């Protein structure tokens, strides 16, 4: 299977319960950002996520209260860099006690100090390592030399120690798909459990023009659709069809709610129009119907996984053929042993293009 069986059952059970309640909107993932402190300042990241003070972090109690309020079965523990959170072992213990499934989203630089030999592997814990390309590209995006080598080493070590290990790759305007494919091969050699490949989002605070426009996304993700048949990519077929321009979807901003040191972020994980101090104010104040339509200027080139994967699953569940395709996709996890057909050469690497 592409996902752990326990995670698949937990999400399916939760969605069935929401369906029985006839709920039209509900969160499926909580993006829990307990701190806005980071040991990197990546060029594609919004400024607030690496400029916060450690003293301004959320308490463990505040984090767990947010988890209980959102009710989602899945957590994405991010930030900032979550391994810098001093109370990380205590927080993870509280999440696991609540039977939540946690993606620990990390740049991996401190896994050997803050996680290995400190936090034991658990069926509820997924280590999710940020890798935005091969060495030159990833180090350029992270704005620091040596990050790629360390991250790749930590991926292998996490697998050796028995952690369920996945990776998260953002595709930028100058990222050639041949590089993404080579990265897939490199990760399969380390027996990685899954890979998320998703378009980036043009944050207002990011000045560099590195993000894709709609036609770039469609072209590149037509190739990702092919790669998904040969590597264990975790984006669903319907979501990839959307990214490739073969299907239309509304956004589901409510499906991925975000708790930060500043409050509940609205309207979504990517846009920070407002921060609400309480869950009730956040959930009842956001104009979800407006943001679903993608009519806002901030939404025009957004194809982010956080906004559209839930819509993709909902769309697939309403059509027998799509639902069957979704079930078969989850059951069939490619081993990477069969190679995809060759693709035509593309543009130079992001790091190389930046130096021109």
Percentage of residues of the chain with pLDDT beyond 90: 81
Q: Which of 40-49, 226-235, 263-272, 307-316 has the lowest mean pLDDT?
A: 40-49
Does residue 265 contact residue 319 with C-beta atoms inside 8 Å? Answer: no
Going by C-alpha positions, the residue among 25, 28, 26, 102 that lies closest to residue 63 is 102
Distance CA 176, CA 290 (A): 35
User: Is the pLDDT at 346 greater than 70, yes or no?
Assistant: no
Q: What is the pLDDT of residue 49?
A: 66
pTM, two decimal places: 0.93
Q: Which of 5-19, 69-83, 300-314, 338-352 has the lowest mean pLDDT?
A: 338-352
User: Is the pLDDT at 350 greater than 60, yes or no?
Assistant: no
Which structural domains are found in the chain, ordered by start?
5-354 (3.20.20.70)
Residue 83 CB burial class (10 angstroms; 0-12, 13-18, ≥19): buried
User: Is the pLDDT at 201 greater than 90, yes or no?
Assistant: no
User: Is the pLDDT at 197 greater than 50, yes or no?
Assistant: yes
User: Is the pLDDT at 213 greater than 90, yes or no?
Assistant: no
Distance CA 356, CA 353 (A): 5
Q: Which of 108-117, 188-197, 331-340 has the lowest mean pLDDT?
A: 331-340
The helices-and-strands tally (H runs, E runs) of the chain is: 14, 9
Q: What is the pLDDT of residue 187?
A: 98
Mean pLDDT of 326-343: 92
pLDDT band at 202 (very low <50, low <70, confident <90, very high): low
pLDDT band at 61 (very low <50, low <70, confident <90, very high): very high
Q: DSSP H helical segments within 37-176, as ranges? A: 60-70, 88-97, 111-114, 135-142, 147-160
pLDDT band at 347 (very low <50, low <70, confident <90, very high): low
Q: What is the pLDDT of residue 203?
A: 58
Mean pLDDT of 104-112: 98
Which pLDDT tens digit goes with each residue over 269-319?
989 999 999 999 999 999 999 999 999 999 988 999 999 999 999 888 888
Q: What is the pLDDT of residue 122?
A: 98
Q: What is the pLDDT of residue 82?
A: 97
Q: Which of 125-129, 150-154, 313-317 has the lowest mean pLDDT?
A: 313-317
User: Is the pLDDT at 268 greater than 60, yes or no?
Assistant: yes
Which pLDDT tens digit goes with each residue over 129-148?
999 999 999 999 999 999 99
Does residue 170 contact residue 345 with C-beta atoms inside 8 Å? Answer: no
Q: What is the pLDDT of residue 123?
A: 98
Q: What are phi and psi of 191, to 5 degrees?
A: 60, 35
Distance CA 187, CA 302 (A): 27
User: Is the pLDDT at 50 greater than 70, yes or no?
Assistant: no
Q: What is the pLDDT of residue 64?
A: 98
User: Is the pLDDT at 351 greater than 90, yes or no?
Assistant: no
User: Is the pLDDT at 58 greater than 60, yes or no?
Assistant: yes
Mean pLDDT of the residues in the chain: 92
Q: What is the pLDDT of residue 356?
A: 47
User: Is the pLDDT at 52 greater than 90, yes or no?
Assistant: no
User: Is the pLDDT at 44 greater than 60, yes or no?
Assistant: yes
Q: Sort residue 80 into left (φ over 0), alpha (ψ -120 to 50) or beta.
A: left
Does residue 126 contact residue 166 with C-beta atoms inside 8 Å? Answer: yes
Query: Residues with Cβ < 8 Å from 255, sequence gap 6 or more?
Result: 25, 26, 27, 28, 29, 306, 307, 309, 310, 311
Say which residue the tokens 């109370």 belong to. 87
């Amino acid at each position: 299977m592409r996902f752990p069986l326990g995670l698949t059952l937990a999400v399916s059970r939760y969605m069935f319960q929401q369906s029985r309640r006839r709920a039209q909107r509900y969160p499926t993932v909580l993006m829990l950002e307990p701190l806005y402190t980071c040991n990197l300042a990546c060029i594609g990241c919004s400024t607030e996520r690496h400029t916060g003070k450690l003293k301004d972090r959320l308490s463990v109690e505040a984090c767990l209260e947010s988890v209980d309020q959102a009710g989602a079965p899945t957590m994405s523990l991010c930030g900032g860099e979550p391994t810098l959170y001093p109370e990380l072992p205590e927080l993870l213990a509280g999440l696991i006690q609540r039977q939540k499934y946690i993606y620990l989203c990390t740049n991996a630089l401190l896994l050997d100090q803050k996680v290995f030999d400190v936090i034991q592997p658990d069926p509820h814990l997924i280590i999710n390592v940020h890798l935005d390309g091969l060495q030159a590209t990833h180090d350029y995006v992270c704005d620091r030399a040596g990050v790629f080598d360390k991250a790749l080493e930590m991926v292998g070590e996490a697998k050796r120690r028995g952690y369920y290990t996945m990776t998260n790759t953002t595709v930028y305007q100058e990222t050639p798909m041949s590089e993404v494919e080579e990265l897939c091969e490199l990760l399969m050699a380390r027996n990685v459990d899954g890979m998320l490949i998703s378009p980036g989002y043009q944050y207002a605070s990011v000045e560099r023009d590195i993000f894709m426009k709609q036609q770039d996304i469609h072209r590149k993700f037509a190739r990702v659709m092919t790669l998904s048949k040969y590597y264990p990519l975790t984006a669903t077929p319907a979501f990839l069809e959307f990214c490739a321009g073969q299907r239309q979807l509304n956004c589901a901003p409510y499906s991925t709610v975000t708790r930060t040191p500043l409050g509940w972020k609205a309207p979504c994980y990517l846009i920070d129009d407002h921060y609400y101090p309480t869950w009730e104010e956040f959930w009842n104040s956001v104009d979800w119907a407006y943001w679903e339509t993608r009519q806002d200027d901030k939404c025009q080139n957004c194809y982010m996984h956080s906004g559209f994967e839930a819509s993709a699953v909902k769309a697939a569940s309403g059509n027998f053929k799509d639902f069957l395709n979704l079930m078969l996709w989850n059951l069939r996890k490619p081993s990477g042993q069969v190679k995809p057909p060759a693709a035509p050469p593309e543009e130079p690497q992001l790091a190389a293009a930046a130096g021109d």
